[in-house]
């Protein structure tokens, strides 16, 4: 599977990364290089194999459930402390709704 330039632009848009027109060809080449290399996985027979998300059986067996209760909160100043822009107790963003 090889990405055309329209797909490269669409992926950048989905990822919310601005992609200037003059960089599309370079990025297309890099992504296709990596995807071409990844393609070798299609040769592996995975019939009947359950997908693995991560962890180890031993680890999964010792993951305890915790009580479903609120354990923190009430720290708006801390939450907002690193915001690049804020309005009172809110994050500031460009106007979204006209």
Partner 1 sequence: MHPTDFTLAGAVAALAEGAVSAEELTRAHVDAIEALNPRLNAFITTTPDQAIEAARASDAKRKRGEAGPLEGIPLAIKDLFCTEGVQTTAASRILGGFIPPYESTVTSNLKRDGAVFLGKANLDEFAMGSSNLTSAYGGVLNPWSRRNDTDARLVPGGSSGGSAAAVAARLALGATGTDTGGSIRQPAAFCGIAGIKPTYGRCSRFGIVAFASSLDQAGPFARTVEDCAILLRSMAGHDPKDSTSADRPVPDFAAACGRSVKGLRIGVPKEYRLDGTPPEIERLWRQGLDWLRDAGAEIVDISLPHTKYALPTYYIVAPAEASSNLARYDGVRFGLRVAEKNSDLRDLYERTREAGFGQEVRRRIMIGTYVLSAGYYDAYYLKAQKVRALIARDFTEAFGRVDAIVTPATPSAAFAEGENSDDPIKMYLNDVFTVTANLAGLPGLAVPAGLDPQGLPLGLQVIGRPFDEETVFSVGAAIERAAGFDAVPSMRAGA
Least separation in angstroms between residue 89's CB and partner 1 is 13
32: Cβ contacts below 8 Å, ≥ 6 apart = 2, 3
64 near partner 1, judged by CB under 8 A: yes
Q: Which of 6, 21, 22, 59 is close enough to bind partner 1 by CB under 8 A?
A: 59
Nearer to partner 1, 5 or 33 (CB): 33
68 near partner 1, judged by CB under 8 A: no
Question: Could you give the CA distance from residue 12 to residue 17 in angstroms, rounded to a whole number?
Answer: 5
66 near partner 1, judged by CB under 8 A: yes
Q: Where does this chain bind partner 1 (CB under 8 A)? A: 1, 3, 7-8, 11-19, 27, 30-31, 33-35, 37-38, 40-42, 44, 46, 49-59, 62-64, 66, 75, 78-79, 81-85, 91, 93-96
């Amino acid at each position: 599977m090889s990405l055309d330039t329209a797909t490269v632009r669409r992926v950048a848009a989905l990822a919310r990364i601005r992609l200037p027109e003059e960089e599309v060809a370079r990025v297309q080449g890099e992504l296709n290089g990596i995807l071409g290399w990844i393609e070798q996985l299609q040769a592996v027979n995975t019939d009947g194999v359950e997908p693995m998300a991560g962890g180890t059986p031993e680890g999964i067996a010792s993951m305890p459930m915790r009580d479903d209760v609120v354990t923190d909160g009430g720290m708006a100043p801390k939450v907002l402390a690193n915001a690049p822009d804020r309005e009172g107790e809110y994050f500031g963003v460009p106007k979204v709704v006209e």
